[in-house]
Structure 1
Amino acid sequence: MNKDWWIYTGTRQPHDGIARLPEPPPWRAFASEEDTPFDRDGPTGPHNRLKPAAAYEADNHTIDMVNTALYLRRPLLVTGDPGVGKSMLAYAVARELRLGSVLRWPVTSQSTLQQGLYRYDAIGRVGDSNLSGQAGEISRYLRLGPLGTALAPFRLPRVLLVDEIDKSDIDLPNDLLDVFEEGEYEIPELSRLAEDEVRIRPADEGQPVLVRHGRLRCRAFPLVVLTSNGERAFPPAFLRRCVQLDLPAPGAERLSAIVAAHLGTAEVGRSAELIDTFLARRELGDLATDQLLNAVYLAGATGVSRAHLAELVMKNLNPTI
């Protein structure tokens, strides 16, 4: 397999390989008037998932698909059973390529495109106006959402995790099409103002983002990782604009590698019985990989019988019998 084209390599060692990413295809090139800096060496998320991401094991097919999304500047739609590492993939890529904190948008049935782009506290502004006799500057009442922040004009791509997109309202995937295609969006509350430039707080703790004429346009299209547990089908127009990756449940060899990455190679031999038990129980219903890791950790920390630990922490998530 030719690996020379890989930008993301899955080695778990941070590097500056993103600088080797070639210019985008002409139909995915975006232009912006200004760079927006961000802290590339900051934590990889609101709960600092740097350490778990450091142990993430990506196979060659996963690495191929991540690089395909990077080269084509397209969202990566990741499907698979719960616990196979769909969300952690975003943190692993951000860590290895030193792309700063992951912007996370946890989707629910109530999520809307505007919530992902920005929030406007109109009630707060009216309340302040009633108290003081005049409204404060509108920028005080606006904040970019995770999607809106990812589409700010950063020189390097941000990583955006859109978690559990299959839980969204039926219209959200279609609503995202234009934003993903154009790489820009409008904030109408700003478009109506006389001011040409306004700075707004981003979703993370980075520097305020400069918005010109009420519009934001990305410079580097973000790596958008959309995860799905397969609870619904998506429209063809949405799928056509995504790079699709299905993460299979890991087999015995990969489970051993995951145990080694998280808990050390010494635990691999001692965990063979638990891995066998995990695989057998997975035939009866869904199990997540972190349930195996919990059992292996407890076995090393407590000396309790592995069979007993399997009963404690390897409960089927969706038993079929």
Structure 2
Amino acid sequence: MNFPFYTEQPPKTAPTKPVELPQSRQKTQTRPEAYLPDERLVKAVNVALLLGQPLLLTGEPGTGKTQLAYSLAHQLGLGDPLKFETKSTSTARDLFYFYDALGRFHAIQEATVTKENNTLKQAVDYLTYNALGEAIIRTKPPETVKAYLPADFSHTEPRRSVVLIDEIDKAPSDFPNDILNEIENLYFRIPELGNKEIKTTENLAPILVLTSNSEKPLPEAFLRRCIYYNLPFPEKERLEKIIEARLDTFPNNDFLNQALEIFLQLRREGSLRKKPSTAELLNWLMVMRDIYPNVDNPIATHPKCVLDTLSSLVKMKEDIDKAEDILIATK
């Protein structure tokens, strides 16, 4: 693999075969076995598990809120979490299922359903379960919910799941209030299939992890039903432990110390409008290490590498000049 992959001077003729590129590093950073929760987060998680209440996490983007759900599911042996990605258009029903009413209408118009006793079966095949709806269905014995299982839905035995409701503050302001009872009592209804209540099996109740970037406040009635923890940004010593756990090759100490000093300088109060996150720090270290694989300390040997890789850390136009000034001042 030859770096750089893209150059200022394009070749006169295109390569005869595709250029070999590195694989995505996302999984390197997000391995659940490499997630290091702090002591207070561990206590909050255990309180939520004891009380059977949702865990609401806030904190800067990139501090590990989403990854906590994967770590929790990993430690409890529950497989990957069922994830609901909240959008600005999300409604309460979206948390449980999506029903393709238009597709169903067209099917009826085309006379694909011809017998009355086939109506429910045909209707259920236009149903797609979303995270919390699927988690509740999976707590039930298959024979008790078979009328509500689409043909492509595999369910052989009751099980517990971790449900991640990510960035709940993105949803419309009435979304949290609309799901109060459902979140607390873990049930839902499907009006398109007779409106019968489908309620979780209590000893297999889904474990709920909700994240928020605090872009807008959540209702007090909703907060009352949650266990709350705000993930603080890690101190330098904790950042070192996170880097050691997340990167398969631990950086040289001199390199790591210099990189962390630059990173923390960029994060200092009043420096940049958008402070670089832990996830961006990991990306930055991987990039410098990969550009100079045989160099113990790229920053000392190739000082220009910091400016060359600044796009890993600085993500706003107005911060670019500030960051460059900071870097020049710290040389």
Same fold, judged at TM 0.5 (above): yes
**Distance in 2 of aligned mates of 1:88 and 1:264:** 18
- Return the match for 2:260 from 270, 275, 281: 275
Corresponding residue SS for 1:308: helix
Residue 164 of structure 1 and its aligned partner are, at CA, apart by 0.7
- 1:159 is matched with 162
Give deviations 1:47-100, integer Å, cap 9, x for gaps.
989952221111111111111111111111100011101101101111121112
**Distance in 2 of aligned mates of 1:133 and 1:158:** 36
CA-based RMSD: 2.4
Residue 124 of structure 1 and its aligned partner are, at CA, apart by 1.0
- Return the match for 1:130 from 109, 115, 119: 109
- 1:244 is matched with 228
Query: Contact 1:69/1:75 (CA < 8 Å) preserved in 2?
Result: yes
Corresponding residue SS for 2:188: strand
Corresponding residue SS for 2:208: strand
**Distance in 1 of aligned mates of 2:183 and 2:283:** 38
Corresponding residue SS for 1:104: strand
Query: Contact 2:82/2:164 (CA < 8 Å) preserved in 1?
Result: yes
**Distance in 2 of aligned mates of 1:188 and 1:101:** 29
Aligned pair in 2 of structure 1 residues 148, 133: CA closer, same or farther (>3 Å)?
closer
Aligned pair in 2 of structure 1 residues 161, 50: CA closer, same or farther (>3 Å)?
farther
Q: Which amino acid aligns with 1:296?
A: L
**Distance in 2 of aligned mates of 1:73 and 1:133:** 45
**Is 1:299 the equivalent of 2:298?**
no
**Is 1:174 the equivalent of 2:163?**
no
- 2:76 is matched with 97
Residue 268 of structure 1 and its aligned partner are, at CA, apart by 5.7
Q: Which amino acid aligns with 2:314?
A: K
Give deviations 1:15-68, integer Å, cap 9, x for gaps.
xxxxxxxxxxxxxxxxxxxxxxxxxxxxxxxx9899522211111111111111
Corresponding residue SS for 2:164: strand
Corresponding residue SS for 1:125: helix
TM-score, normalization: structure 1?
Answer: 0.73
Aligned pair in 2 of structure 1 residues 120, 81: CA closer, same or farther (>3 Å)?
same
- 2:212 is matched with 228
* Matched residues, number: 255
**Distance in 1 of aligned mates of 2:85 and 2:166:** 5
**Distance in 2 of aligned mates of 1:318 and 1:52:** 32
Q: Percent identity?
A: 34
Query: Contact 1:118/1:142 (CA < 8 Å) preserved in 2?
Result: yes
Residue 126 of structure 1 and its aligned partner are, at CA, apart by 1.7
Structure 2: gaps of 5 or more residues: 1-25, 140-157, 293-297, 323-331
Alignment of structure 1 residues 1-321 onto 2, 5 Å: 52-132=31-111, 134=113, 137-154=122-139, 155-191=158-194, 213=196, 215-219=198-202, 220-264=204-248, 266-267=250-251, 269=253, 270-283=255-268, 284-285=271-272, 286-303=275-292, 304=298, 305=302, 306-309=305-308, 311-315=310-314
Query: Contact 1:151/1:222 (CA < 8 Å) preserved in 2?
Result: yes
Query: Contact 2:167/2:211 (CA < 8 Å) preserved in 1?
Result: yes
Structure 1: gaps of 5 or more residues: 1-46, 193-212
- 1:207 is matched with none
Corresponding residue SS for 2:137: coil
Query: Contact 1:274/1:310 (CA < 8 Å) preserved in 2?
Result: no
